[in-house]
Chains A and B, each alone.
Chain A
Amino acid sequence: MARIVGIDLGTTNSLVAYMDKGTPRVIAGRHERAMVPSVVALTDNGLIVGDPAKEHLTRNPERTVYSVKRFMGKGLADVQDELAYFPYTLTEKGGVIRIKLGEKTYSPPQISAMILKELKLRAEAFLGESITKAVITVPAYFNDSQRQATKDAGMIAGLDVLRIINEPTAASLAYGLQQRTQGTIAVYDLGGGTFDISILKLKNGIFEVLATNGDTHLGGDDFDQLIADIFLADIRQQYGLDLKAYPDHMQGIRLEAERAKIRLSEELKTTATLDLPEGKGWFTRELTRDQLESLCNALVERTLGPCRLALKDAGLTPADIDEVVLVGGSTRMPLVRQRVQALFGTQPHCELNPDEVVALGAAVQADILSGGTTDMLLLDVTPLSLGIETMGGVMSSLIRRNTTIPASAKEMFTTYVDGQTGVDIHILQGERELAKDNRSLARFRLKVPPLPAGVPRIEVTFLIDANGILNVTAKDMRTGETQSIEVKPSYGLSDLEVERMIEDSFKFAADDVSARKLIEARLDAGALIATTEKSLADGGHLVNTEDIASIRGALSALTIAKDGNDPRTIRARMADLEQAAKGLTVAMLDDSLKRGLQGKKVSEIA
């Protein structure tokens, strides 16, 4: 079976990991950095992703998309409150947010697909093989539309998404693999834009999620914004300058706020520095950890409510929790650690890098799916109740939150009027009494044969699969015929749209010949480096030290070029290496010929 990689598609950073002989490892890019900033920028040379795109946040803010995860599976009305904070332009089409980049608009899954493609390329260059299958993580509290949008992103990126797995449970797999823990654990996952809490029972390799809760709109980004707001107020007061009119400086403030926050996890006070527009010079401000903590206290408090609810749903008290695991970069904040420790009464674990642990867990899950790891099994739950709208706009719950998935429920439908040929069904997700207060997932019309009222009997099966994604099928109980249902997602792309986006992405890929050339050059370079090193090891004694030195020199030149972005340079350095290694190649050929002749003689004698 082809290799399956694990991908953590994060709000601020994304990573790809693979399983290396029973150990999950993240794949680093240049400068040994495993994290790819989840940023896409439109430049004069086309779309770029990751670290180079991040540089455009301040240079080119209107054309640089970040935190796109916040828009997955959403409509414009859902994000109205925060629109002012984003320098790029958002619109809506067919219930799905679109992001304007230059002349074109892109759906959030398309932008996410660009990040996924970057990770795919990175994995392909590192592993030296084509990657087409992946496990992708999502916040546990993601609803059906958000999960579906993530799956769509994978498809658009040319990845077969074999499983969508929850981030906190992925982390627990990575920890479980490492420590072979037994008992009840709580995973507290505070990322860039989302918060999750999951309570699990670990026993003999089974990871059974008892309850999960969270807030898909709470994360490190929000802390940064609070800090940035203080800077803004100070600048307005001191310089009479409203930086909101300068999108590039707004991004600068946001990034400096993030850096100050990170520094304050290590230090007790720090100084933030920002250059001001209009030749106003530099703004500096001292920020202490105490100030930061009183600023962020309310946000951290907000994470504790979901923790208590999850405990309650699991039928547990804090004393029942044996271990607490911290996940996500924001859990580096001392305040977060203190609060979590106070709530659960136990020192939280953070042995594994909180930035990497989710990707590592995704790689473990990928290995389970490919049949490599067979002793571990994750039994996850659906985070939100699923139901349908009934008479009077009330939601009738079919599958309760925290039900182990796969989960299914059947409901029988009939008609109220003679000759009625359809029944409209509105699927919802959420915990509120009234349909209008819950998330609308989809609507569809059940086809019914024209018969007297009450005679038709159509059984509809709602099945939540192991990805937490809903599948609907219907069966006419009178004829036994099943009917295919075309579901119109409320906040998602239609199958047709996804197909078109996949085609588009192939077209872009074709336009992007240089990207393809780069991958191929990197792959070829990797192969050449490997064979040359093997030749050196096997036949190094056949050539003189000068030759060896020049081969080594060409090798390191190629290694550097391979990490670069220019396929022509890589090809040139490959040619150099081949030239430098010519003597060695010839010497080894001669040597093997000689041995071959010797061998022949021996056989002739025999």
Chain B
Amino acid sequence: MDGHTHHHTSDRRELQMARSMCWHCQSEVSGEYFCDRCVKVQPVSKELDYFTCFGFPRRLSINQQKLETKFYELSRAFHPDFYQNKSDAEQTISLGNSAMLNTAYRTLRDPIQRAEYLLDLEAGSVKEIRTTPPADLFEEILELQDILDEFRASDRTSGAAAALRTQLQSERATLEQRQRDMEAQIQQLFGRWDALQDRGEATEQARAERDRILKEMRDILSNRTYVKNIVNDLVATIA
């Protein structure tokens, strides 16, 4: 087993330790959502990661069907509708668990959010990632900004504005294609990441490969967000 995975396994054990006692009957619970003895719902630990919450390994390719089935199953377990006749404590737990479950589902369902979340778990906060333009598009984007400014300042009914609009529309198509390309690249990285995890090697090469994948993913995500923002701006301007 690779050192890193091991690190997370022990993490998980600590989490379970932190909530190893049923809040109600004090009997031992080993990470289940309901106490074996008194059948009371247990609060989902705030530190529990979304993959574990769904009982999934920390892989990037996810079967949407399985995810949805699990989401529905856990919703039936936690939703406040089913705790109306229970104690205040149980109602509070049900509310907290449901809110957490909904966030987890929303995050894992979307491949981009899922990738950002994994980066966050594996390599620290994604919020610190600055959105940067793709290096090869730098010139093109500067030029685009100029056209956008020119269009904004123009008389929209003029022929010049119509020409600018056509130009912007073609830029939009190019950028949207670029965004799709980057999303395909991210998908490829999903495959590489999952294969690496499946091999579970603890070698120096494996660690290096892991760091490479995470770095590439971070760069592409950052570029993609940048391009996406530009496209949104473009769409809003020519609308």
- Using CB atoms and an 8 Å cutoff, list the residues of chain A in contact with chain B: 1, 162-163, 203-204, 206, 208, 365, 368-371, 374, 377-379, 403-408, 463, 465-466
Q: Are B85 and A407 in contact (CB under 8 A)?
A: no
A-B contacts, 18 of them at CB < 8 A, read: A204-B72, A368-B81, A369-B84, A370-B85, A371-B85, A374-B82, A378-B81, A379-B79, A403-B106, A404-B102, A404-B106, A406-B95, A406-B102, A407-B102, A408-B96, A408-B103, A465-B80, A466-B81
Taking the closest CB of chain B, its distance from the CB of A589, in whole angstroms, is 42
Report the nearest A residue to B95, measured CB to CB.
Answer: A406
Report the nearest A residue to B84, measured CB to CB.
Answer: A369
Q: How many Å lie between the Cα of A345 and that of B80 in the bound state?
A: 36
- Most-contacted residue by chain B among A163, A377, A406 (CB, 10 A): A406
Q: Are A1 and B75 in contact (CB under 8 A)?
A: no
Question: Which chain B positions have C-beta within 8 A of A208?
Answer: 72
B121 contacts partner chain A, Cβ-Cβ < 8 Å: no
Q: Are B103 and A407 in contact (CB under 8 A)?
A: yes
Q: How many Å lie between the Cα of A370 and that of B76 in the bound state?
A: 15
Interface residues as binary, B92-134 with A (CB distance below 8 Å gives 1, 0 otherwise)? 0001101110110110000000000000000000000000000
Within the complex, which residue of A163, A203, A204, A465 is in contact with B95, where a contact is CB–CB below 8 Å? A465
Q: How many Å lie between the Cα of A206 and that of B100 in the bound state?
A: 19
Q: Are A406 and B98 in contact (CB under 8 A)?
A: yes
Taking the closest CB of chain A, its distance from the CB of B9, in whole angstroms, is 27
Taking the closest CB of chain A, its distance from the CB of B83, in whole angstroms, is 9
Given the known interface contacts A377-B79, A466-B79, the answer about A162 and B99 at a Cβ–Cβ threshold of 8 Å is no
Q: How many Å lie between the Cα of A208 and that of B72 in the bound state?
A: 9
Taking the closest CB of chain A, its distance from the CB of B48, in whole angstroms, is 15
Question: Which chain A positions have C-beta within 8 A of B82?
Answer: 371, 374, 377
Instruction: Tell me the interface secondary structure of chain B in the complex.
Output: helix
Within the complex, which residue of B76, B84, B106 is in contact with A162, where a contact is CB–CB below 8 Å? B84
Q: How many Å lie between the Cα of A206 and that of B105 in the bound state?
A: 15
Q: How many Å lie between the Cα of A5 and that of B136 in the bound state?
A: 64
Q: Are B95 and A463 in contact (CB under 8 A)?
A: yes
Report the nearest B residue to A410, measured CB to CB.
Answer: B46
Q: Are B80 and A406 in contact (CB under 8 A)?
A: yes
Taking the closest CB of chain B, its distance from the CB of A200, in whole angstroms, is 14
Question: Which chain B positions have C-beta within 8 A of A162?
Answer: 84
Q: How many Å lie between the Cα of A506 and that of B85 in the bound state?
A: 27
Q: Are A377 and B75 in contact (CB under 8 A)?
A: yes
- Most-contacted residue by chain B among A162, A204, A208, A379 (CB, 10 A): A379
Report the nearest A residue to B97, measured CB to CB.
Answer: A406
Report the nearest A residue to B83, measured CB to CB.
Answer: A369
Q: Are B105 and A203 in contact (CB under 8 A)?
A: no
Question: Which chain B positions have C-beta within 8 A of A379?
Answer: 75, 79
Given the known interface contacts A403-B102, A406-B102, A408-B103, the answer about A369 and B95 at a Cβ–Cβ threshold of 8 Å is no
Q: Are A1 and B81 in contact (CB under 8 A)?
A: no
Taking the closest CB of chain B, its distance from the CB of A390, in whole angstroms, is 15
Taking the closest CB of chain A, its distance from the CB of B158, in whole angstroms, is 28
Q: Are B75 and A370 in contact (CB under 8 A)?
A: no
Q: How many Å lie between the Cα of A408 and that of B46 in the bound state?
A: 12
Given the known interface contacts A379-B75, A463-B95, A465-B95, the answer about A371 and B103 at a Cβ–Cβ threshold of 8 Å is no
Taking the closest CB of chain A, its distance from the CB of B133, in whole angstroms, is 23
Report the nearest A residue to B98, measured CB to CB.
Answer: A406
Q: Are B102 and A206 in contact (CB under 8 A)?
A: no
Question: Which chain A positions have C-beta within 8 A of B95?
Answer: 406, 463, 465-466
Report the nearest A residue to B100, measured CB to CB.
Answer: A408
Taking the closest CB of chain A, its distance from the CB of B71, in whole angstroms, is 9
Interface residues of B in 59-90 (CB under 8 A from A): 72, 75-76, 79-82, 84-85
Q: How many Å lie between the Cα of A463 and that of B94 in the bound state?
A: 13
Question: Which chain B positions have C-beta within 8 A of A204?
Answer: 72
Q: How many Å lie between the Cα of A374 and that of B84 in the bound state?
A: 12
Q: How many Å lie between the Cα of A203 and that of B75 in the bound state?
A: 13
Report the nearest B residue to A162, measured CB to CB.
Answer: B84
Given the known interface contacts A377-B76, A377-B79, the answer about A371 and B84 at a Cβ–Cβ threshold of 8 Å is yes
Q: Are B72 and A407 in contact (CB under 8 A)?
A: no
Q: How many Å lie between the Cα of A377 and that of B74 in the bound state?
A: 12
Within the complex, which residue of A1, A206, A404 is in contact with B85, where a contact is CB–CB below 8 Å? A1
Taking the closest CB of chain A, its distance from the CB of B178, in whole angstroms, is 21
Q: How many Å lie between the Cα of A378 and that of B75 in the bound state?
A: 10
Given the known interface contacts A377-B81, A466-B81, the answer about A406 and B76 at a Cβ–Cβ threshold of 8 Å is no
Q: How many Å lie between the Cα of A377 and that of B103 in the bound state?
A: 18
Known: A403-B102, A466-B98; 13 extra A-B contacts, CB below 8 A, are A203-B72, A204-B72, A208-B72, A369-B84, A377-B76, A377-B82, A403-B106, A404-B102, A404-B106, A407-B99, A408-B99, A463-B95, A466-B95
Taking the closest CB of chain B, its distance from the CB of A373, in whole angstroms, is 10
Q: Which 8 A-B pairs have the closest CB atoms?
A: A408-B99, A406-B99, A404-B102, A369-B84, A406-B98, A466-B80, A206-B72, A406-B95
Q: How many Å lie between the Cα of A206 and that of B76 in the bound state?
A: 9
Question: Which chain B positions have C-beta within 8 A of A374?
Answer: 82
Interface residues of B in 178-201 (CB under 8 A from A): none
Question: Which chain A positions have C-beta within 8 A of B98?
Answer: 406, 466
Report the nearest A residue to B80, measured CB to CB.
Answer: A466
Q: Are B72 and A370 in contact (CB under 8 A)?
A: no
Question: Which chain A positions have C-beta within 8 A of B75?
Answer: 206, 377, 379
Question: Which chain A positions have C-beta within 8 A of B85?
Answer: 1, 370-371
Question: Which chain A positions have C-beta within 8 A of B84?
Answer: 162, 369-371
Report the nearest B residue to A465, measured CB to CB.
Answer: B95
Interface residues as binary, B32-69 with A (CB distance below 8 Å gives 1, 0 otherwise)? 00000000000000000000000000000000000000
Interface residues of B in 212-235 (CB under 8 A from A): none
Question: Which chain A positions have C-beta within 8 A of B102?
Answer: 403-407
